[in-house]
Amino acid sequence: MIHASSHVQPADVAAHYDDLDHFYREVWGEHVHHGLWTERSQTVEQATRALIDEVAKLAHVGPGTPVCDVGCGYGGTARVLVRDYGARVTGLTISQAQQKYARELDPHSTNPVYLVRNWLENGLNSRSFHAVIVIESSEHMPDLRQFFSECARVLAPGGRLVICAWLSRQHPRAWERRFLLEPICREGRLEGMGTEGEYQQLAIDAGLRPVSFHDVSQAVKRTWTICAGRVARGLIQNPSYRQFLLHGTSFNRVFAWTLLRIRLAYGIGAMRYGILVAEKPGTAESG
Ligand SMILES: C[S@@+](CC[C@H](N)C(=O)[O-])C[C@H]1O[C@@H](n2cnc3c(N)ncnc32)[C@H](O)[C@@H]1O
C-alpha cells in the first residue's frame, strides 16, 4: 500500500473538493471519474457513460434497486441510475459544494437523495442496499478496513459491492513511489493507493466474497491526456482560471499539476485502474 506522507483526514478531502469546485466542474463536468474507452472513436461523454453502465451492469442495478453511491461527487452517476435504470439512490459526499450543486439541480428531489456525510460514520441502516457502488472515493478513506466493513454492513445479503479504484502496481519501484505515487496521493488528498491483492483481501476480511476483478487501465488512461489538454486550454483562455492556478494561495491548486504525474504513472504501468466486484453471502430471503 502506498500512503501519503502525511495522514489525510476527511476534513482535508472536503476542503480539496470545496476549494477546487470550479476547477473540477470546468475540467471534468459533473462526472468526476475516468472514462472507459471500449472503442477509440468514443467521445469523452460516451466513455464517461460507458464506465457508469459497466458499474450498473456489474452491480446488477435495475428498476427499484436500492443503491448507495459512496462518494457521489456532484451526483452525476446517481442521476443516471435513477433516470435510465429506475434505481433508488442515496449518494454520500464529504463536500458541501458538491451537495449544493446536486441539490440545486432539483431542490425537491427525493430520489436521488444527496447527503453530506463521512462514509466511515454514515449512520445508514444495516442491510438496506442491494448495491453499493464506489467510483473513485475509496482512495480517500483514512481507514480502508473500516470502509469495507461499512460497505458490508449496509449491503443486504446477496447484494453487490462494485468499487472502481486507483491502484498501484504490485511492486512499484522506489523512484515510482517517491516521484509519482506518493506525491499523487499527497497532492490529490488520497490517503493511499492499494494493490489489487490488498483490495481483494480487505473485501474477504469484511465478510464479502470477491466475484471478479477487471483491470481496465488501458481503457481509462486517455482520461488524463484529455484533462491535461483541458487545463492547458483553460490556462490560455480563461483569466480567472489562470489567476487561481498560477497565483492562488490554496494548497489544493497543486492538483492541477498532479495531472501530469498521473498521466506518466499510467504510461509506465506504475498506476492501475481496477473494478472490483464482491458479493455479500446469502440470499435476499436470508436477510
Ligand atoms: C473523485 S470524486 C468521485 C465522485 C463521483 N463518484 C463521480 O464519479 O463523479 C471522490 C468523491 O469521494 C468523496 N469522498 C471522499 N472521502 C469521503 C468520505 N470519507 N465520505 C464520503 N465521501 C467521501 C468526495 O466527496 C468526492 O465526492
At 105, which helix (H) or strand (E)? helix 96-105
Cell readout for 52 is: 457508469
Residue-wise pLDDT tens digits, 119-167: 999 999 999 999 999 999 999 999 999 999 999 999 999 999 999 999 9
Residue nearest to ligand 1 atom 7, measured at CA: 32
Closest-lying ligand 1 atom to the alpha carbon of residue 14: 25
The rounded Å distance from CA 239 to ligand 1 centre is 28
What pLDDT shows up at residue 234?
A: 73
How far, in Å, CA of 55 to CA of 33, rounded?
12
The rounded Å distance from CA 286 to ligand 1 centre is 31
Mean model confidence pLDDT for the chain? 91
How far, in Å, CA of 50 to CA of 36, rounded?
6
How far, in Å, CA of 15 to CA of 13, rounded?
5
Residue nearest to ligand 1 atom 19, measured at CA: 118
Which has the closest alpha carbon to 220: 48, 93, 83?
48
Q: Where are the beta strands (DSSP E) in 59-191?
A: 66-70, 88-93, 113-116, 129-135, 155-168
Contacts 24+ apart (CB under 8 A), 32-36: 32/73, 32/74, 32/76, 32/136, 33/73, 33/77, 33/135, 33/136, 33/164, 34/136, 34/164, 34/220, 34/223, 34/273, 35/220, 35/222, 35/223, 35/226, 36/216, 36/219, 36/220
The rounded Å distance from CA 231 to ligand 1 centre is 21
What pLDDT shows up at residue 287?
A: 47
The rounded Å distance from CA 134 to ligand 1 centre is 8
Q: Grade residue 194 by pLDDT with cuts at 50, 70 and 90.
A: very high
The rounded Å distance from CA 285 to ligand 1 centre is 32
Task: List pocket residues of ligand 1, CB cut-off 6 Å.
Answer: 10, 13, 17, 31-33, 71-73, 76-77, 92-95, 98, 118-120, 135-137, 140-141
Closest-lying ligand 1 atom to the alpha carbon of residue 33: 8
The rounded Å distance from CA 181 to ligand 1 centre is 19
Pocket test for ligand 1, best of 18, 19, 93, 151 (most atoms within 8 A of CB): 93
How far, in Å, CA of 249 to CA of 47, rounded?
34
- In the structure, how many helices (H) and strands (E) does the chain have? 13, 9
CB under 8 Å to 267, separation ≥6 — which residues?
221
Closest-lying ligand 1 atom to the alpha carbon of residue 118: 20
Least confident of 40-49, 200-209, 232-241, 248-257: 248-257
Q: Grade residue 251 by pLDDT with cuts at 50, 70 and 90.
A: low
Architecture of domain 2-280: 3-Layer(aba) Sandwich (3.40)
Distance of alpha carbon 243 from its chain centroid, rounded? 28
What pLDDT shows up at residue 157?
A: 98
Residue nearest to ligand 1 atom 14, measured at CA: 71
Residue nearest to ligand 1 atom 11, measured at CA: 71
How many beta carbons lie within 10 A of that of residue 277, not counting itself? Answer: 20
Percent of the chain with pLDDT over 90: 74
Q: What's the number of CA atoms in the CB half-sphere (13 Å) around residue 103?
A: 13
- β 209-215/129-135 pair status: unpaired
What pLDDT shows up at residue 246?
A: 67
Residue nearest to ligand 1 atom 13, measured at CA: 71
The rounded Å distance from CA 120 to ligand 1 centre is 12
How far, in Å, CA of 187 to CA of 4, rounded?
9
Q: What's the number of CA atoms in the CB half-sphere (13 Å) around residue 70?
A: 30
